[in-house]
Structure 1
Amino acid sequence: MLPAMIANLKRPPRTVTEWLADAVRAGAIVTTVVALFILPFTDFAVLSMALPAVMLARMIGLRSGVDLLTCATVFVAAGSNVIDLYRAWTGWDLVVHALCTGVLAAVAMVLLDDGGVIAPTGRRRTPIVVATIAGLALSAVWEMVEWFGYRFITDAIFVTYDDTIGDMIAGGAGALAAGVLASRFALTRRDRSAL
């Protein structure tokens, strides 16, 4: 699994969509490094949490469109926190939770499959169930991170019971949608096996 991930990381972009995904990835890295020097540490920390996802999207060989969607969604989610869009736009929080959890559930599904944790069964229900479970688990972890940040770092983080449950429902719905799409379309490039 690791040699294939390294090969995917080294592989030059071949299509316009792959170039765009790499541009978003590079923008996320540069923005996060700059944020370390000019933004409060909490904003830098939020932006830096997006970096593993934008790098993993390339390393696991996601199809270029899925890669681009993952990078853009995760970085918009982090950036929305930094520029305070979640408080400014009603409902934006739920939209982002649904989209972000959906793409992260897709990444988790590929990682679980590549790691041999789940076996391909050829059944269409498997991606739906696995993605939904992964998305709900990721939502729960994120809500715990938010609570920890609120409790121990800054009370500027918005945490209420209704917000937590609403975020988890939106995340679960996004993961379910990702599972339905993954049950019908391949998430990874066709040439992954050649690596």
Structure 2
Amino acid sequence: MIRTYLPAPTGAAETVADALRMLAAIGIVVAGVGWGPAAGFSLAFVTVGMFLPRLLGVRPGFDIAFGIVVLASVWSSVLDIYISTRWWDLPMHFLTNGLCAALVYIGLVRLGLLADAATLLRPMASTAVMTFALGLSLGVLWEIFEWFGHTYIDEEIFVGYVDSIGDLAWGGIGALLAGLSRPLMEGQSATARPRATSSPLG
């Protein structure tokens, strides 16, 4: 059953993407032991999210980029790079929010919750607008999460009006560009990929 939804890698790029997922899984233990349960939970959350590109059957290059960016983002938090290097927050929001918005968009289309832009009159514009909207929504949810963390978990989590607006703006720009680049990201649908006929895992 596992091979039905997560087939074995078929090329070097998919192997690299799977290696990143393995690295993220190892990071759960490293972060948990070295930086505490909260860091371990953050790595666990990211590790689970890194399987979504594979399940959705996006291009391996997008899968690799997503894995690298989210790992860089979460380790930047664990290592307090966002605090020591304030400007690092903006490029991370630009990249992470853009890739996440594109992934969410592709997932919603695959689930039939959004119309495939290819069926619309202006597919590129439609994709860009929807991905931009999803990116802003994800950005708002993240800022709420940061506020919650600052208020109830750790006051060291930096929040502020200027910071939030900057994060939303850069994240929105990243999402817009990701929407315009969708044809470069989306590969064969996971449901259309050939399924393994037999596997020791079922």
User: Normalized against structure 1, the TM-score is what?
Assistant: 0.90
Flag structure 1 segments of 5+ consecutive residues without an equivalent.
Answer: none
The aligned counterpart of 2:24 is 28
Is residue 155 from structure 1 mapped to residue 151 from structure 2 by the alignment? Answer: no
Corresponding residue of 2:192: 193
Matched with 2:34 is 38
Q: Is the 8 A contact 1:80 1:86 kept in 2?
A: yes
Q: Which runs of 5+ in 2 are unaligned?
A: 195-202
Give runs of aligned pairs for residues 39-54 of structure 1, distance below 5 A. Answer: 39-54=35-50
Kept after mapping to 2: 8 A contact 1:53/1:104: no
One-letter amino acid matched to 1:7: T
What is the CA-CA distance between 1:17 and the residue it aligns to?
1.2
Superposition deviation, residue 137 in structure 1: 0.7
Cα 1:90/1:149, change in 2 over 3 Å: closer
Does the aligned pair in 2 maintain the 1:98–1:171 contact within 8 Å? yes
User: In the alignment, which residue of structure 2 is the partner of 1:124?
Assistant: 124
User: Residue 7 of structure 1 corresponds to which residue in structure 2?
Assistant: 4
Superposition deviation, residue 6 in structure 1: 6.4
Q: Give the residue type in structure 2 aligned to 1:187.
A: E
The residue type equivalent to 1:188 in the other structure is G
Residue of 77, 80, 90 corresponding to 2:76? 80
Per the alignment, residue 110 of structure 1 pairs with: 106
Q: Distance in 1 between matches of 2:99 and 2:185?
A: 14
Task: Name the structure, 1 or 2, with higher relative contact order (CA <8 Å, separation 6+).
Answer: 2
- Identity among equivalent positions (%) equals 32
Q: Is the 8 A contact 1:102 1:176 kept in 2?
A: yes
1:107-160 deviation digits (Å, cap 9, x = unpaired):
101110011111114222121011111111111111111110000001010111
Amino acid at match of 2:192: S
Q: Secondary structure at the match of 2:15?
A: helix
Worse-matched range after superposition: 70-79 or 36-45:
36-45
Alignment partners' CA distance in 1, 2:170 and 2:45: 20
SS in 2 for 1:62: coil
Q: Between 48-57 and 18-27, report the one with greater CA deviation.
A: 48-57
Aligned amino acid, residue 58 of structure 2? L
In the alignment, what sits opposite 2:197? none
Between 1:70-79 and 1:26-35, the stretch displaced more is 26-35
- Please, what TM-score do these two structures have when normalized by structure 2? 0.87
Cα distance in 2 for partners of 1:120, 1:77 equals 30
CA contact (8 A) 1:106 1:187 kept: no
Deviations 1:149-183 (A, max 9, x none): 0000010101111111111111101100100101x
Structure 2 CA distance for aligned equivalents of residues 191 and 56 of structure 1: 10
What amino acid maps onto 1:152 in structure 2?
Y
Match of 1:185, SS? helix
- Tell me the distance in 2 between the aligned counterparts of 1:191 and 1:138: 24
